[in-house]
Chains A and B, each alone.
Chain A
């Protein structure tokens, strides 16, 4: 039992990271119907931005919470800018073309970020400094949680609540929901669709950056290709929850994280990459629209 609870704690932590990445996928999909393949690479950039920020601010030698917060903000702003540039120069020109053309462009951007990253940062893995000293806190019943896990949980929950506030309670969020419902109707209501799409990309990229920094806290080995697998699985998580659905992405991320940690703990680490997809296929066979998704109306 204590082992199970421990795995659950680890699974929820890992799941909250997936949820943060999945939110970016699901928001962009909800608005553009585009699978943004480059999203996982934005997550990678987040970790690298934080790595260099930590080096410049000297947080590695003298860790303190203020610097750590600053580093997180720098990474998020940096990735926000990257997200803006990607949308402006790669996705906007193909927006009126077929969805497949947009998809291949997304794949191109993903390859560009990975290989460009390799060129800039070097192919060898870098070790993310401990910008927060690790300590373990016992929770009772033999379960422990590290302070890094607590930070991951608190920051990701805060960001998710922030996102929820933006989407549900601000004008920009209302406009986002309108655009995801119908581009034409939204623009007739005086909403600048282009601006909302850009805003969505920036928001999603910032969340991915935060996920990158949080993961780097726990698994300090970072390299230019680190975004591929988490990106793919976060996308699967978004589909699992019902793509385009924000609470669904969080739920999907949690399910995925917990399932993965359980497989590693009780079965074998080599099956880790398969569980995500087995789960996905099983759920889609029963509920083709995902856990929280609405079945699409079929128009003739």
Chain B
């Protein structure tokens, strides 16, 4: 009951934000906000694999690409017809588009999750850096595959994807991945993932089925990466394989590590900071990326455990911080 109330509250707030904010801000700011949201989804979902389970994956851009292209192809060939049919039946446009988008995102996510399952399987045999490099290879193979399939536009890119994404849908995605992560962290399954991260052999000795939990982490992470990709596709209405190089995967890893491995709020914070940083540095033009990379190095040297370490920022934590005297008494 309480969770339902929470869910309804989040939806209500998001609708309010969507309606009130849109006329107030210019398209550039809107785009930056949406990209922040998409990066938050990517970072929090990768945190499930890298931060929770301790498996090192650098192929997140590949899953994102699958979700993006999968959902875009659905919308282009099926979704747009559905919307036209629904609108002919006098269903309001936002509702019809939302329904089609939801199906597209789910399909994109499922496609990515299936790939995550397939990549998760070899992870049973490989450890550490070898796993990392296989996921990296997988991401690159996906990109080359897209470059070679003419039906999805190959190197020309895929134009004309309906732009159905607004603040509301990005907000729903962000809320979903954060809530799922939080619930997972507090559950038996989450504890099993942490156990694998801390000591795989010990976890196995305690009866944790390490194999299926590792695959579970991969599948969940990939699903939300696919959803993020779907949102990305339906926001920009144009896809290009160059958006999904391994540099993108590395950006997401930087967010997870910078936030503090395993910290959900850290991943959110770092995703927002690393998305805003290049935008804030725009006035210095040529020096922008140089400063960005220098800051990354300096941050890692000064705070090697990430911004938050493994801590979490939450409402309760903030309240405690603000009223320390009561805590001690």
User: Do the two chains bind?
Assistant: yes
Whose C-beta in chain B lies nearest to the C-beta of A244? B129
How far is it, in angstroms, between the C-alpha of A276 and the C-alpha of B290 when the chains are bound? Answer: 30
How far is it, in angstroms, between the C-alpha of A235 and the C-alpha of B126 when the chains are bound? Answer: 17
Q: Is the CB of B293 within 8 A of A243?
A: no
Chain A contributes a number of interface residues (CB within 8 A of B) equal to: 46
In the bound complex, residues from chain B placing their C-beta under 8 Å from that of A66 are: none
Contact partner of A94 among B140, B143, B201, B301, CB < 8 A? B301
Interface residues of A in 75-101 (CB under 8 A from B): 90, 93-94, 97-98, 100-101
Whose C-beta in chain B lies nearest to the C-beta of A270? B148
Contact partner of A274 among B56, B140, B247, B301, CB < 8 A? B140
Stretch in B3-11, B12-20, B107-115, B251-259 touching the partner: B251-259
Given contact pairs A119-B286, A284-B122, enumerate 9 new A-B contacts (beta carbons under 8 Å).
A98-B304, A104-B300, A107-B250, A107-B296, A108-B297, A108-B300, A273-B143, A284-B134, A288-B125
Q: Does B130 reach chain A (CB closer than 8 Å)?
A: yes
How far is it, in angstroms, between the C-alpha of A300 and the C-alpha of B141 when the chains are bound? Answer: 36
How far is it, in angstroms, between the C-alpha of A53 and the C-alpha of B247 when the chains are bound? Answer: 31
Q: Is the CB of B126 within 8 A of A298?
A: no
Whose C-beta in chain B lies nearest to the C-beta of A98? B304
How far is it, in angstroms, between the C-alpha of A286 and the C-alpha of B158 when the chains are bound? Answer: 37
Interface residues of B in 94-138 (CB under 8 A from A): 122, 125-127, 129-130, 132-134, 136-138
Q: Is the CB of B294 within 8 A of A281?
A: no
Q: Is the CB of B287 within 8 A of A280?
A: no
Interface residues of A in 190-208 (CB under 8 A from B): none
Q: Is the CB of B134 within 8 A of A281?
A: yes
In the bound complex, residues from chain A placing their C-beta under 8 Å from that of B127 are: 288
In the bound complex, residues from chain A placing their C-beta under 8 Å from that of B292 are: 111, 115
Whose C-beta in chain B lies nearest to the C-beta of A278? B141
Q: Does B180 reach chain A (CB closer than 8 Å)?
A: no
* A285 with B125, Cβ < 8 A, contacts A97-B304, A112-B293, A298-B201 known: yes
Point out residues on B near A: beta carbons under 8 Å: 56, 122, 125-127, 129-130, 132-134, 136-138, 140-141, 143-145, 147-148, 201, 246-247, 250, 253-254, 257-258, 261, 286-287, 289-290, 292-294, 296-297, 300-301, 304-305
In the bound complex, residues from chain A placing their C-beta under 8 Å from that of B145 are: 274
Expressed in whole angstroms, the minimum distance between the Cβ of A191 and any Cβ of chain B is 25
Q: Is the CB of B297 within 8 A of A105?
A: yes
Q: Does A127 reach chain B (CB closer than 8 Å)?
A: no
* A271 with B148, Cβ < 8 A, contacts A100-B261, A285-B122 known: yes
Whose C-beta in chain B lies nearest to the C-beta of A119? B286
Q: List 25 A-B contacts (CB under 8 A).
A: A94-B304, A97-B305, A98-B261, A98-B305, A100-B56, A101-B304, A104-B258, A107-B254, A109-B297, A110-B293, A111-B293, A112-B297, A116-B293, A119-B287, A239-B130, A239-B133, A268-B148, A277-B138, A277-B141, A280-B134, A280-B137, A284-B126, A284-B134, A289-B130, A298-B201
